[in-house]
Amino acid sequence: MKIIVPATSANLGAGFDSIGIAVSLYLTVEVLEESSDWKIDHDLGENIPTDERNLLLTTLSAVLEDKNVALPAKYHLKMTSEVPLARGLGSSSSVIIAGIELANQLAKLNLTSDEKLKLACEIEGHPDNVAPALLGNLVIASTVAGKTSHIVADFPSCALLAFVPDYELKTVESRQVLPNELTYKEAVAASSIANVLTASLLTNNLEVAGQMMEADRFHESYRASLIPELQLLREIGHEFGAYGTYLSGAGPTVMLLVPDNKLTLLTEKIMEKNLTGHLYPLKIDNKGLQVEESVF
Binding positions for ATP are 84-94
CA distance 169 to 226: 9
Query: Cα torsion at 154, 158, 162, 163 (round to 10°)?
Result: -150
Compute the residue count for the chain.
Answer: 296
In a 10 Å sphere around its CB, with 0-12 CB exposed, 13-18 middle and 19+ buried, how is residue 18 labelled? buried
User: For the chain, how big is the Rg over CA atoms in Å?
Assistant: 19
CA-based nearest residue to 201, from 13, 37, 56: 13
- Dihedral sign of CA atoms 16, 215, 175, 100 in order: positive
Residue 281 φ then ψ, to 5°: -75, 125
Cis peptide before 252 (omega within 30 of 0): yes
Residues that constitute the known binding site: 84-94
Residue type, 250: A
CA distance 190 to 197: 11
What's the distance, CA 293 to chain centroid?
25
